[in-house]
Chain A
Amino acid sequence: MYGWIWRHLPGNAWVRALISLVLVLAIVYALFQYVFPWAEPLLPFNDVTVDNGMAVSR
Protein backbone atom coordinates (compact mmCIF):
# COMPACT_ATOMS: atom_id res chain seq x y z
CA MET A 1 0.00 0.00 0.00
CA TYR A 2 2.55 2.54 1.09
CA GLY A 3 5.01 1.17 -1.48
CA TRP A 4 2.39 1.68 -4.16
CA ILE A 5 1.82 5.29 -3.10
CA TRP A 6 5.54 5.96 -2.98
CA ARG A 7 6.01 4.60 -6.51
CA HIS A 8 3.25 6.81 -7.83
CA LEU A 9 4.55 10.06 -6.34
CA PRO A 10 6.40 12.26 -8.83
CA GLY A 11 9.97 13.51 -8.55
CA ASN A 12 13.08 12.13 -6.90
CA ALA A 13 13.34 10.72 -3.40
CA TRP A 14 13.53 14.14 -1.71
CA VAL A 15 10.50 15.48 -3.50
CA ARG A 16 8.60 12.29 -2.70
CA ALA A 17 9.57 12.53 0.96
CA LEU A 18 8.37 16.13 1.07
CA ILE A 19 5.04 15.26 -0.58
CA SER A 20 4.62 12.34 1.82
CA LEU A 21 5.16 14.64 4.78
CA VAL A 22 2.60 17.11 3.48
CA LEU A 23 0.14 14.27 2.88
CA VAL A 24 0.59 12.95 6.41
CA LEU A 25 0.11 16.41 7.93
CA ALA A 26 -2.98 17.00 5.81
CA ILE A 27 -4.47 13.70 6.95
CA VAL A 28 -3.73 14.41 10.62
CA TYR A 29 -5.28 17.87 10.25
CA ALA A 30 -8.40 16.44 8.63
CA LEU A 31 -8.68 13.86 11.41
CA PHE A 32 -8.41 16.41 14.22
CA GLN A 33 -10.57 19.00 12.52
CA TYR A 34 -13.35 16.90 11.07
CA VAL A 35 -13.23 13.17 11.74
CA PHE A 36 -12.52 13.07 15.48
CA PRO A 37 -14.98 15.83 16.41
CA TRP A 38 -17.58 13.78 14.61
CA ALA A 39 -16.54 10.49 16.21
CA GLU A 40 -15.93 11.73 19.74
CA PRO A 41 -19.60 12.22 20.74
CA LEU A 42 -20.08 8.52 20.01
CA LEU A 43 -17.76 7.76 22.92
CA PRO A 44 -19.34 7.71 26.39
CA PHE A 45 -17.64 10.82 27.83
CA ASN A 46 -20.31 13.28 26.76
CA ASP A 47 -23.21 12.09 28.84
CA VAL A 48 -22.98 14.45 31.77
CA THR A 49 -26.57 15.64 31.93
CA VAL A 50 -29.56 13.91 33.40
CA ASP A 51 -31.70 14.67 30.37
CA ASN A 52 -29.13 14.10 27.62
CA GLY A 53 -28.97 17.69 26.52
CA MET A 54 -32.67 17.91 25.78
CA ALA A 55 -34.87 20.25 27.65
CA VAL A 56 -36.99 18.23 29.99
CA SER A 57 -40.23 17.15 28.36
CA ARG A 58 -39.90 19.58 25.49
Chain B
Amino acid sequence: MRARLVVRTLSELCVTAGTLIVLLVVYVLYWTGVRADHAMDGAIDRLQDQWSAGPVAQPPATGDGTTGSTPPAHGGGDRAAAPPARGGDRPHTTGAAPGAYRDGRAFAVMYIPRFGSGWTKPVLQGTGTDVLKKGLGHYDRTAPLGAVGNFAVAGHRRTYGDPFKDVPELRPGDAVVLTDGTTWYTYRVDREPYRTRPEDIGVIDPVPAASGFRGPGRYLTLTTCEPEWGHSHRLIVWARLEATRPVSDGRPGALSG
Protein backbone atom coordinates (compact mmCIF):
# COMPACT_ATOMS: atom_id res chain seq x y z
CA MET B 1 0.00 0.00 0.00
CA ARG B 2 2.81 2.30 0.96
CA ALA B 3 4.74 1.58 -2.26
CA ARG B 4 1.65 2.32 -4.33
CA LEU B 5 1.31 5.74 -2.71
CA VAL B 6 4.96 6.55 -3.43
CA VAL B 7 4.74 5.44 -7.05
CA ARG B 8 1.52 7.38 -7.59
CA THR B 9 2.90 10.56 -6.08
CA LEU B 10 6.06 10.25 -8.16
CA SER B 11 4.06 9.81 -11.36
CA GLU B 12 1.91 12.79 -10.50
CA LEU B 13 5.00 14.90 -9.96
CA CYS B 14 6.40 13.81 -13.32
CA VAL B 15 3.17 14.68 -15.10
CA THR B 16 3.14 18.05 -13.33
CA ALA B 17 6.72 18.79 -14.33
CA GLY B 18 5.96 17.82 -17.93
CA THR B 19 2.95 20.11 -18.00
CA LEU B 20 5.03 22.97 -16.62
CA ILE B 21 7.64 22.48 -19.34
CA VAL B 22 5.00 22.42 -22.06
CA LEU B 23 3.48 25.61 -20.64
CA LEU B 24 6.91 27.29 -20.56
CA VAL B 25 7.50 26.36 -24.19
CA VAL B 26 4.09 27.77 -25.11
CA TYR B 27 4.98 30.94 -23.23
CA VAL B 28 8.38 31.39 -24.85
CA LEU B 29 7.44 30.45 -28.41
CA TYR B 30 3.96 31.86 -28.60
CA TRP B 31 2.93 34.12 -25.79
CA THR B 32 6.00 36.40 -25.83
CA GLY B 33 5.29 36.94 -29.54
CA VAL B 34 1.65 37.80 -28.90
CA ARG B 35 2.60 40.29 -26.22
CA ALA B 36 5.45 41.79 -28.25
CA ASP B 37 3.39 42.14 -31.44
CA HIS B 38 0.68 43.86 -29.44
CA ALA B 39 3.18 46.22 -27.84
CA MET B 40 4.92 46.96 -31.16
CA ASP B 41 1.68 47.63 -33.03
CA GLY B 42 0.60 49.90 -30.20
CA ALA B 43 3.89 51.77 -30.29
CA ILE B 44 3.70 52.28 -34.06
CA ASP B 45 0.09 53.47 -33.82
CA ARG B 46 1.00 55.93 -31.08
CA LEU B 47 3.95 57.25 -33.07
CA GLN B 48 1.84 57.72 -36.17
CA ASP B 49 -0.91 59.45 -34.20
CA GLN B 50 1.68 61.71 -32.66
CA TRP B 51 3.27 62.48 -36.05
CA SER B 52 -0.02 63.15 -37.76
CA ALA B 53 -1.27 65.29 -34.89
CA GLY B 54 1.26 67.97 -35.60
CA PRO B 55 4.86 68.77 -36.26
CA VAL B 56 7.21 66.48 -34.44
CA ALA B 57 8.54 68.14 -31.34
CA GLN B 58 12.04 69.21 -32.13
CA PRO B 59 14.64 68.37 -29.56
CA PRO B 60 16.58 71.44 -28.54
CA ALA B 61 18.91 72.14 -31.43
CA THR B 62 20.30 75.07 -33.27
CA GLY B 63 17.75 77.01 -35.20
CA ASP B 64 18.95 76.06 -38.64
CA GLY B 65 18.86 72.38 -37.80
CA THR B 66 15.85 71.61 -39.92
CA THR B 67 15.23 74.52 -42.18
CA GLY B 68 18.74 75.56 -43.07
CA SER B 69 20.23 72.20 -43.85
CA THR B 70 17.28 70.63 -45.62
CA PRO B 71 17.19 72.06 -49.11
CA PRO B 72 13.81 72.31 -50.80
CA ALA B 73 12.81 69.05 -52.40
CA HIS B 74 13.53 69.12 -56.08
CA GLY B 75 11.69 66.79 -58.39
CA GLY B 76 10.54 64.62 -55.52
CA GLY B 77 13.40 62.18 -55.93
CA ASP B 78 15.38 60.77 -53.07
CA ARG B 79 18.10 63.14 -52.14
CA ALA B 80 21.52 61.60 -51.95
CA ALA B 81 23.02 61.65 -48.52
CA ALA B 82 25.33 64.54 -48.06
CA PRO B 83 28.93 63.45 -47.75
CA PRO B 84 29.85 63.40 -44.09
CA ALA B 85 32.35 65.61 -42.38
CA ARG B 86 32.00 68.46 -44.78
CA GLY B 87 33.72 71.34 -43.03
CA GLY B 88 31.67 71.54 -39.86
CA ASP B 89 28.33 70.92 -41.51
CA ARG B 90 25.70 69.94 -39.02
CA PRO B 91 24.10 66.57 -39.58
CA HIS B 92 21.11 67.23 -41.77
CA THR B 93 18.94 65.20 -39.47
CA THR B 94 16.00 66.74 -37.77
CA GLY B 95 18.39 67.87 -35.15
CA ALA B 96 18.14 65.00 -32.71
CA ALA B 97 21.09 65.46 -30.45
CA PRO B 98 22.45 62.39 -28.68
CA GLY B 99 20.38 61.86 -25.60
CA ALA B 100 17.34 63.60 -27.04
CA TYR B 101 15.51 60.29 -27.22
CA ARG B 102 13.63 59.37 -24.08
CA ASP B 103 14.63 56.07 -22.47
CA GLY B 104 12.29 53.24 -23.28
CA ARG B 105 10.20 55.36 -25.64
CA ALA B 106 9.68 54.63 -29.32
CA PHE B 107 11.04 57.36 -31.58
CA ALA B 108 11.27 55.80 -35.04
CA VAL B 109 9.82 53.06 -37.21
CA MET B 110 11.99 50.66 -39.18
CA TYR B 111 11.09 48.97 -42.48
CA ILE B 112 13.15 46.20 -44.08
CA PRO B 113 11.62 45.20 -47.43
CA ARG B 114 13.72 42.00 -47.52
CA PHE B 115 11.77 40.74 -44.48
CA GLY B 116 8.44 41.29 -46.21
CA SER B 117 6.29 44.30 -46.94
CA GLY B 118 4.46 43.91 -43.65
CA TRP B 119 7.62 44.07 -41.60
CA THR B 120 7.49 47.30 -39.61
CA LYS B 121 8.94 47.61 -36.12
CA PRO B 122 9.27 50.48 -33.69
CA VAL B 123 12.71 51.53 -32.50
CA LEU B 124 12.89 52.37 -28.81
CA GLN B 125 15.63 54.09 -26.90
CA GLY B 126 17.81 51.74 -24.87
CA THR B 127 18.75 48.08 -25.05
CA GLY B 128 17.58 46.82 -21.66
CA THR B 129 15.72 43.53 -21.43
CA ASP B 130 12.42 45.30 -20.84
CA VAL B 131 12.90 47.60 -23.81
CA LEU B 132 13.69 44.76 -26.18
CA LYS B 133 10.47 43.04 -25.18
CA LYS B 134 8.60 45.91 -26.84
CA GLY B 135 10.54 46.44 -30.03
CA LEU B 136 13.98 47.13 -31.38
CA GLY B 137 16.39 48.95 -29.10
CA HIS B 138 18.70 51.81 -30.01
CA TYR B 139 22.00 51.60 -28.14
CA ASP B 140 22.52 54.47 -25.76
CA ARG B 141 25.55 56.52 -26.69
CA THR B 142 25.47 55.63 -30.35
CA ALA B 143 24.63 58.25 -32.95
CA PRO B 144 21.06 59.46 -33.47
CA LEU B 145 19.15 58.47 -36.59
CA GLY B 146 20.70 59.79 -39.77
CA ALA B 147 23.59 61.53 -38.05
CA VAL B 148 27.30 61.11 -38.63
CA GLY B 149 28.35 58.12 -36.58
CA ASN B 150 26.79 54.76 -36.01
CA PHE B 151 23.07 54.36 -35.37
CA ALA B 152 23.12 50.94 -33.65
CA VAL B 153 19.99 48.87 -33.06
CA ALA B 154 19.52 45.53 -31.29
CA GLY B 155 16.60 43.16 -31.68
CA HIS B 156 15.46 39.67 -30.77
CA ARG B 157 16.17 37.01 -33.32
CA ARG B 158 13.80 34.59 -31.62
CA THR B 159 10.99 35.07 -29.10
CA TYR B 160 9.24 38.39 -28.52
CA GLY B 161 7.86 38.49 -32.03
CA ASP B 162 11.08 37.28 -33.74
CA PRO B 163 11.79 40.76 -35.17
CA PHE B 164 15.29 39.93 -36.46
CA LYS B 165 14.61 36.31 -37.40
CA ASP B 166 15.65 36.87 -41.03
CA VAL B 167 18.75 38.98 -40.43
CA PRO B 168 20.96 36.27 -42.01
CA GLU B 169 19.01 36.81 -45.25
CA LEU B 170 20.21 40.39 -45.60
CA ARG B 171 22.53 40.93 -48.55
CA PRO B 172 24.57 43.90 -49.76
CA GLY B 173 22.28 46.48 -51.33
CA ASP B 174 19.21 45.59 -49.26
CA ALA B 175 17.38 48.62 -47.94
CA VAL B 176 16.83 49.41 -44.28
CA VAL B 177 14.39 52.31 -44.15
CA LEU B 178 13.61 54.34 -41.05
CA THR B 179 11.41 57.30 -40.36
CA ASP B 180 11.26 59.61 -37.37
CA GLY B 181 8.10 61.39 -38.47
CA THR B 182 9.80 64.14 -40.43
CA THR B 183 12.31 62.36 -42.65
CA TRP B 184 12.73 59.02 -44.38
CA TYR B 185 16.21 57.57 -44.04
CA THR B 186 17.21 54.89 -46.54
CA TYR B 187 20.23 52.85 -45.50
CA ARG B 188 21.80 50.21 -47.73
CA VAL B 189 23.34 47.06 -46.33
CA ASP B 190 27.04 47.12 -47.04
CA ARG B 191 28.14 43.50 -46.65
CA GLU B 192 26.88 40.09 -45.62
CA PRO B 193 26.07 39.54 -41.94
CA TYR B 194 29.14 39.38 -39.76
CA ARG B 195 29.44 36.89 -36.92
CA THR B 196 31.29 37.95 -33.84
CA ARG B 197 31.79 37.40 -30.12
CA PRO B 198 29.31 38.79 -27.57
CA GLU B 199 31.89 41.08 -26.01
CA ASP B 200 32.95 42.64 -29.31
CA ILE B 201 31.54 46.07 -28.58
CA GLY B 202 33.71 47.57 -31.32
CA VAL B 203 31.02 46.66 -33.84
CA ILE B 204 28.92 49.62 -32.68
CA ASP B 205 31.80 52.10 -32.78
CA PRO B 206 31.26 55.21 -34.91
CA VAL B 207 33.50 53.56 -37.53
CA PRO B 208 33.46 49.82 -36.76
CA ALA B 209 36.88 48.36 -37.49
CA ALA B 210 35.56 45.08 -38.94
CA SER B 211 32.94 46.70 -41.14
CA GLY B 212 35.21 47.75 -43.96
CA PHE B 213 34.05 51.36 -43.55
CA ARG B 214 36.93 53.77 -43.67
CA GLY B 215 36.48 57.20 -42.20
CA PRO B 216 33.45 58.78 -40.56
CA GLY B 217 30.07 58.38 -42.18
CA ARG B 218 26.38 57.94 -41.48
CA TYR B 219 26.23 54.25 -40.62
CA LEU B 220 23.69 51.85 -39.19
CA THR B 221 24.36 48.65 -37.26
CA LEU B 222 21.90 45.86 -36.48
CA THR B 223 22.81 43.32 -33.80
CA THR B 224 21.05 40.12 -32.84
CA CYS B 225 21.94 36.74 -31.40
CA GLU B 226 23.70 33.94 -33.18
CA PRO B 227 23.02 31.04 -33.42
CA GLU B 228 19.30 31.40 -33.79
CA TRP B 229 18.40 29.95 -30.40
CA GLY B 230 21.72 30.46 -28.69
CA HIS B 231 23.81 33.20 -27.23
CA SER B 232 27.39 32.19 -27.93
CA HIS B 233 27.82 34.75 -30.71
CA ARG B 234 26.23 37.85 -32.21
CA LEU B 235 25.24 38.56 -35.77
CA ILE B 236 26.00 42.04 -37.05
CA VAL B 237 24.79 43.87 -40.15
CA TRP B 238 26.22 47.19 -41.25
CA ALA B 239 24.60 49.67 -43.60
CA ARG B 240 25.33 53.17 -44.75
CA LEU B 241 22.94 56.06 -45.34
CA GLU B 242 22.09 56.31 -49.00
CA ALA B 243 19.38 58.94 -49.12
CA THR B 244 17.02 61.02 -47.05
CA ARG B 245 13.67 62.38 -48.03
CA PRO B 246 11.19 64.62 -46.23
CA VAL B 247 8.08 62.74 -45.15
CA SER B 248 5.97 65.29 -47.04
CA ASP B 249 7.45 63.97 -50.30
CA GLY B 250 6.02 60.51 -49.74
CA ARG B 251 7.55 57.13 -49.17
CA PRO B 252 11.05 56.49 -50.51
CA GLY B 253 11.60 54.34 -53.57
CA ALA B 254 13.00 51.47 -51.55
CA LEU B 255 9.59 50.87 -49.97
CA SER B 256 7.49 51.00 -53.11
CA GLY B 257 9.45 48.36 -55.01
B156 lies within 8 A of A45 (CB):
yes
A50 lies within 8 A of B198 (CB):
yes
List residues of chain B with CB within 8 A of the CB of A2.
12
Query: Number of residue pairs across A and B with beta carbons under 8 Å?
Result: 91
A32, A46, A50, A52: which contacts B203 (Cβ < 8 A)?
A50
Chain A residue, CB-CB nearest to B156 = A48
List residues of chain A with CB within 8 A of the CB of B164.
48
B157 lies within 8 A of A48 (CB):
yes
List residues of chain A with CB within 8 A of the CB of B23.
28, 31-32, 36
Q: Does B32 contact A (CB under 8 A)?
A: yes
Q: Does B225 contact A (CB under 8 A)?
A: yes
Say how far B208's CB is from chain A's closest CB, in angstroms.
10
Say how far B219's CB is from chain A's closest CB, in angstroms.
15
Interface flags, A27-58, vs B, CB<8A=1, else 0: 01001100010011101111111111101100
Q: Does A18 contact B (CB under 8 A)?
A: no
Q: Does B137 contact A (CB under 8 A)?
A: yes
Given contacts A31-B23, A53-B128, A53-B129, contact A45 B28 (CB under 8 A): yes
List residues of chain B with CB within 8 A of the CB of A47.
198, 225, 231, 234
B156 lies within 8 A of A50 (CB):
no
List residues of chain B with CB within 8 A of the CB of A13.
none
Q: Complex formed: what's the CA distance from A53 to B231 in Å? A: 14
Say how far B36's CB is from chain A's closest CB, in angstroms.
12
Q: A31-B23, A39-B24, A43-B28 are in contact. List 11 more A-B contacts (CB 8 A).
A: A1-B8, A2-B12, A36-B23, A45-B156, A45-B158, A46-B132, A48-B224, A49-B223, A51-B201, A56-B139, A56-B204
